[in-house]
Amino acid sequence: MTVHELLKSSYSFDEAKQLQIKYRSKIIEEQKDPDFFIEEKSIKYLIGVDISYYKRENQDYGIASAVLWNYKKQKMIETYFSESIIDFPYKAGYLGYRENGLIAKAIKMSKITPDLLMCDGHGIIHPRRFGEATHLGVALNIPSMGVAKNPFFGFYDFQNLKRIKGTKSPIWREDPQEISSKNNEKIGYAVILSNEKKPVFVSPGYKIRLEVALNIALNTTSEHRQPEPLFFADHLSRKRIKNN
């Protein structure tokens, strides 16, 4: 069932924050169910999503692209687009309210319900563990994961990662110099997904474990910095703007 209040953008930042706290609490309760997390072997289709912006008459517009990807065959099946005015202001930590309503419209055009959503953004790498990927997964009740290009939250050391596919460094919720790993929470990885490329930041969004999300990110990446479904989602949304 879609959580419609998470796909609205008519909130103040304080109201948006309270919704993040509310649904993070619900996730904590849901995780007590042993069947909460998706298994990699059950994933046949995933959808990679991204959004590109343009201005018209001093107004922000967005074009969301959703790429349906066959995980077993590692190939693109279909693409979907949605376009609209963007009226929620940009602020770090609240990107889901700015983008996910439009992204959800593109996803819903697919006749196939995906087993997983892959976002160009963060999942639980977030002060309230409710980044854009978590937000979208909860809103649509579909497992989700984030693969972001820039760091945002947590404690990490990735500057000296060798540019070899699979090389990774953990991202911790608390300062590892002040708290032991036993009591700390690993919220993601900085990881090289393709040889000679910069690291990206992988985290679980909703109903998926970190190690599974990492493996999926590695398996869906060939020559680009990000997984192919996200590369194509970004490329196609930008192309759509140029052709407008």
Can you give the pLDDT at residue 1? 65
- For 79-133, the pLDDT digits (tens) are 999 999 999 999 999 999 999 999 999 999 999 999 999 999 999 999 999 999 9
∠ Cα 60 1 12 (to 5°): 40
* Tokens read off for 39: 């298994």
Can you give the pLDDT at residue 112? 97
Tell me how far apart the alpha carbons of residues 168 and 138 are, in angstroms, rounded to a whole number: 27
Question: How far from the centroid of its chain's Cα atoms is residue 4's Cα?
Answer: 19
Domain boundaries, the chain: 4-26+41-242
- For 147-165, the pLDDT digits (tens) are 999 999 999 998 889 999 9
- pTM for this entry: 0.96
Can you give the pLDDT at residue 37? 97
- For 166-187, the pLDDT digits (tens) are 999 999 999 998 988 888 999 9
Q: Look at residue 234 and tell me whether its pLDDT is greater than 70.
A: yes
Does the domain at residues 4-26+41-242 carry the CATH identifier 3.30.2170.10? yes
Q: Cα separations (Å) of 172 from 185, 190, 197, 202?
A: 6, 11, 23, 12
Q: Look at residue 5 and tell me whether its pLDDT is greater than 70.
A: yes
Can you give the pLDDT at residue 2? 82
- What average pLDDT does the chain have? 96
Strand order in the sheet with 186-191: 75-85, 59-70, 45-56, 116-119, 144-148, 200-206, 186-191, 168-172
> Beta 116-119 vs 144-148: how paired, if at all?
parallel
